[in-house]
Amino acid sequence: MANVYARVQKIYSASSRQDYLKEKSKDELVFFEEHKKFEWATHEIFEKEKSNIDKKNVVAREIVFALPQDLIKDKNKLKSICDENAKKVCGENRDFDYAVHYKINKENGNVNLHQHLLFSERKNNIELEPKIYKRDIWKDKTTKKLAKANSPNAELIHKKGDIQKDQEGNIKYNNDLFLKKDRKFKTNDYMDKVRKNYVEILNNFGYEDYQVFDKNGYFLPQKKEGFYSGHKIENAREYNDFVKEHNKQIEENLKQNPELEPELIKIKKATEKEIKKENKIEKKISDKSIEFVKNITQILEKEVEKFKVFFNFNNQNEEEKAYQKELEDEKQDIEQEIEEIEDEIYEEEYDDELDDDEWEL
């Protein structure tokens, strides 16, 4: 089974991010889709006006989804999957764009096909009330300043009842353009739900060999390769190669010995703890953490053999206990039958004695 990949990040300049996804990305653009009622610049102005603190405002979020690489050959199916995925994440009345990029690995020829989904945390307000002019507006033709209707150089620029617009031609409203931010994007389980929905979509399109990575399971997670926040992630590919080998061995052990799962989860947690400690010291994927994952495979083989002996011994003990209990139950049944037979004999003898006494009387 393959694990789906989906990563989220906060976006502070959605306009710039849109330009990058649409035109400036180094990856090849397959297609770009816009689904917005308002431009990102409007969102940015709104967030700035709403903010009461002097810091960068989160204007949007972006989720990157890895796509099955064979979809590059079927653009219609690719678009259908991306459309459905975007709709599932964003729902109704929310501005979003998405881009599909691909990059071919020169070393192995693999296609890195992925969807960038850029969306607002706020839904659009569908009950907007446009501002209107409550009276005729006049201005002086020469000075361009407001004037009275009866002024000699006055001209009518807005009639009573006309909709008000700003200098850029955007309609002004009496209420906010957007609703409150949806708090679900900040919850810990939000991305788990996104990944589960994405797996369901892939399954519906015939990609049944996909699942959500289980953080509490027995497999080690891989690290993102390439660049993140402008910094190259060093050693990621080498680290991931050893992690894949490690996870492969875990999978093979579990197929043969499913009873080992609790112990393998303990090993995974201890391994992760050690890796995090080493990476925290060097603030990157350290050589020591790579060496640790490399060696854990050999350690794991020895540990698994120990666990096998332990479980086999326990299983033998359990079988022995079950057999002993069965013998004990049979013994109790026999003793009970003997007691019942003795009771019957006693009752018959007692009845005979009683009859003899009555005859003598």
Residue 312 sits in the same domain as residue 253: yes
SS3 assignment, position 178? strand
Q: pTM of the predicted model, to two decimals?
A: 0.64
Residues 55 and 191 both lie in one domain: yes
Integer CA distances (angstroms), 360 to 22, 349, 356, in order: 121, 17, 6
| pLDDT confidence of residue 354 | 40
Q: Which residues contact 99 (CB under 8 A, 6 or more apart)?
A: 21, 22, 25, 29, 31, 32, 33, 115, 116, 118
Listing from the earlier edge strand, what are the strands of the sheet with 28-35? 6-11, 60-67, 111-120, 96-104, 28-35
Q: How does pLDDT run along the chain (361 residues), one tens digit per residue?
A: 678 889 899 999 999 999 999 987 778 999 999 999 999 999 999 998 887 666 788 999 999 999 999 999 999 999 999 999 999 999 999 999 999 999 887 777 788 899 999 999 999 988 888 888 989 999 998 888 999 888 889 999 999 999 999 888 888 887 888 988 988 888 878 999 999 999 999 999 999 888 887 777 878 887 766 544 444 456 777 888 888 888 888 888 788 878 878 877 887 888 888 888 877 877 778 888 888 787 776 666 666 665 555 445 445 555 566 666 776 777 677 667 666 666 655 555 444 444 444 333 3
Residue 344 placed within a domain: no
In the prediction, which pLDDT does 53 show?
Answer: 67
Domain count of the fold of the chain: 3
Q: Is residue 327 part of a domain?
A: yes
Same domain (yes/no): 155, 224: no
64 with 188, same domain? yes
Is 85 inside a domain boundary? yes
What phi, psi does 157 have (nearest 5°)? -110, -25
| Domain CATH code at residue 59 | 3.30.930.30
Is residue 15 domain-resident?
yes
Shared domain check, 261 and 170: no
155 lies in some domain:
yes
Q: In terms of DSSP H, where are the helices of the chain? A: 14-19, 40-50, 75-90, 190-204, 236-256, 261-282, 287-360
Residues 153 and 229 in one domain: no
Residue 20 lies in a domain: yes
Q: How far apart are CA 128 and CA 120, in angstroms?
A: 18
In this structure, the answer to whether residues 199 and 325 fall within a common structural domain is no
Asked whether residue 260 is assigned to any structural domain, the reply reads yes
Tokens of 51: 């903010």
78 with 105, same domain: the answer is: yes
User: Are 11 and 70 members of one domain?
Assistant: yes
Q: Is residue 76 assigned to a domain?
A: yes
Which residues span the domain enclosing 272? 218-335
Specify the pLDDT at position 139: 92
**Nearest residue to 194 via CA among 61, 8, 1, 3:** 8
Could you give the angle at which helices 75-90 and 190-204 cross, rounded to 10 degrees? 150
Q: What pLDDT is stored for residue 340 in this prediction?
A: 64
238 shares its domain with 317: yes
> What's the rounded Cα separation, in Å, for the pair 161 and 4?
54
Same domain, 157 and 95: no
Same domain, 52 and 135: no
